[in-house]
């Protein structure tokens, strides 16, 4: 308890101190004002006068009260769940303004469910102004953003609303999607935004790490996005985007396995013991409740995202289809995901919110040498309170069901449900 109190005092003091630090151009804020910001905007009023460095962080802690069950005929028993606190997660954010319109970003995971050591999520340079004096380039960069480095790929819009390890202020819920299209790759991205219309084109190495192995089947990944995002009046904003991700060959593609933070639902539908008889750990079973199709060799995915905000009401949807295969497979498999969520923000500065999300996945999964179609459905109902613009408290009820798994599989008729509470700070 003393450690928790000391941590709370440290976070409060640090948040107050960092709130006065240097402002960075074209930066999505890490606090409440960053909600519903997608691609970083081109309307930046921060002047440049010298090199500046900004240090921030994200801290998140959950209390979990979940129960699970299954009907598996296999020999593995489910992990013994009880209510308690999950591991606290933490991010370190470093942003630097290097020149007019040129900034650097570096995010590290200090504490995560999957990684016990500090893990660099990624770092990149973002260019929003011409580095040389040129009337043509100056005009072009009014609408163009260039990103170069190792960074979160801009596939779809759902990744802008998800929890990123220790930073969860953008997510109105506690858990992310069942099929989590999130990863980091090395490459370059060009964004074009003008009068509400946007286009994104990117080329990456197709893997979460650098790799120089001589493998003729390895190829880059490509991302494209087209959309429209407009504040039509003081009350109404509309956005609609369509995205594609394609990788024709990789040693280990991680589009659906790239989250190094792990699931928020600890140890649900996980075995009590490993295959060797050792106790199962949250670190080694970090993605509880997720569907991970295993498209490590090839993958092509499409995502459509509508978004409407009318006064305090938000509607956000996802329709996603993907086809891919693992290195050992001859034929590609399919996966489909749909999600719809409604959020209502109210009271002064919309500091309170309630929300409901329905998420369903249908996937052809590989069990040994057999492919079988499975279905997973999840309902999340939540509420939250922004105590300050840097601190949020959330509560969520979640109910997830797994259908059509093989009878001997641990997830056969698997279910989990219950309550979660979360406190998070971001600055």
What pLDDT is stored for residue 20 in this prediction? Answer: 61
Phi, psi (rounded to 5 degrees) for 251 = -75, -35
Number of Cβ within 10 Å of residue 214's Cβ equals: 5
Query: What is the rounded distance in angstroms from the CA atom of residue 100 to the CA atom of residue 25?
Result: 8
Whether residue 121 contacts residue 109, with contact meaning beta carbons closer than 8 Å, is answered with yes
Q: Return the structure tokens found at 222.
A: 């490509």
What pLDDT is stored for residue 46 in this prediction? Answer: 85
Would you say the C-alpha torsion 338, 202, 259, 383 has a positive or negative sign?
negative
Whether residue 79 contacts residue 267, with contact meaning beta carbons closer than 8 Å, is answered with yes
Cα–Cα distances in angstroms (integers) from residue 168 to residues 60, 67, 73, 387, 421, in the given order: 7, 23, 38, 14, 12
What pLDDT is stored for residue 11 in this prediction? Answer: 46
What pLDDT is stored for residue 10 in this prediction? Answer: 44
Nearest to 355, CA basis, from 339, 342, 365? 342
- Condensed to tens digits (0 to 9), the pLDDT of residues 81-101 reads 999 999 999 999 999 999 999
DSSP letter string, 142-172: TTEEEEEEEEE---SSGGGGS-BTTB-TT-S
Low-confidence ranges of the chain (pLDDT < 70): 1-20
Query: From start to end of 277-332, where are the E strands?
Result: 298-310, 313-325
**For the chain, percent of residues with pLDDT exceeding 90:** 81
What pLDDT is stored for residue 213 in this prediction? Answer: 78
């Amino acid at each position: 308890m003393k450690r928790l109190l000391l941590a709370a005092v440290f976070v409060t003091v640090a948040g107050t101190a960092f709130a006065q630090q240097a402002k960075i151009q074209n930066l999505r804020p890490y606090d409440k004002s960053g909600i519903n910001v997608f691609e970083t905007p081109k309307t930046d009023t921060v002047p440049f006068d010298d090199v500046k460095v900004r240090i921030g962080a994200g801290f998140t802690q959950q209390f979990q009260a979940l129960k699970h069950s299954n009907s598996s005929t296999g020999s593995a028993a489910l992990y013994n769940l009880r209510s308690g606190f999950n591991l606290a997660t933490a991010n370190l954010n470093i942003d630097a303004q290097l020149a007019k319109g040129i900034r650097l970003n570096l995010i590290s995971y200090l504490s995560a469910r999957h990684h016990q050591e500090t893990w660099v999520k990624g770092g990149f340079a973002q260019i929003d102004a011409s580095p040389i004096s040129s009337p043509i380039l100056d005009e072009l960069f009014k609408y163009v953003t260039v990103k170069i480095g190792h960074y979160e790929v801009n596939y779809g819009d759902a990744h802008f609303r998800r929890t990123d390890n220790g930073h969860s202020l953008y997510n109105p819920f506690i858990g992310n999607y069942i099929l989590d299209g999130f990863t980091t790759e090395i490459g370059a991205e060009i964004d074009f935004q003008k009068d509400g219309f946007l286009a994104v084109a990117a080329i990456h190495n197709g893997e979460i790490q650098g790799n120089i192995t001589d493998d003729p089947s390895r190829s880059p990944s490509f991302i494209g996005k087209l959309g429209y995002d407009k504040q039509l009046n003081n009350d109404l904003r509309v956005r609609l985007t369509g995205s594609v991700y394609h990788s024709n060959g990789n040693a280990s593609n991680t589009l659906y396995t790239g989250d190094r933070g792990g699931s928020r639902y600890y140890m649900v539908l996980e075995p009590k013991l490993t295959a060797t008889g050792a106790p199962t750990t949250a670190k080694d079973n970090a993605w509880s409740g997720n569907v991970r199709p295993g498209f490590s060799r090839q993958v092509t995915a499409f995502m459509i995202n509508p978004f409407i905000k009318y006064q305090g009401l938000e509607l956000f949807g996802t329709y996603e289809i993907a086809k891919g295969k693992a290195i050992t497979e001859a034929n590609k498999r399919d996966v489909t995901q749909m999600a719809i969520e409604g959020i209502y923000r109210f009271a002064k500065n919309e500091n309170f919110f309630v929300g409901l999300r329905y998420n369903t996945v249908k996937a052809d999964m590989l069990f040994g040498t057999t492919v079988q179609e499975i279905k997973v459905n999840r309902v999340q109902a939540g509420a939250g309170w922004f105590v300050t613009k840097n601190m949020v408290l959330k509560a969520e009820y979640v109910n997830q069901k797994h259908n059509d798994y093989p009878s001997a599989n641990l997830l056969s008729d698997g279910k989990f449900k219950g309550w979660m509470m979360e406190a998070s700070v971001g600055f």
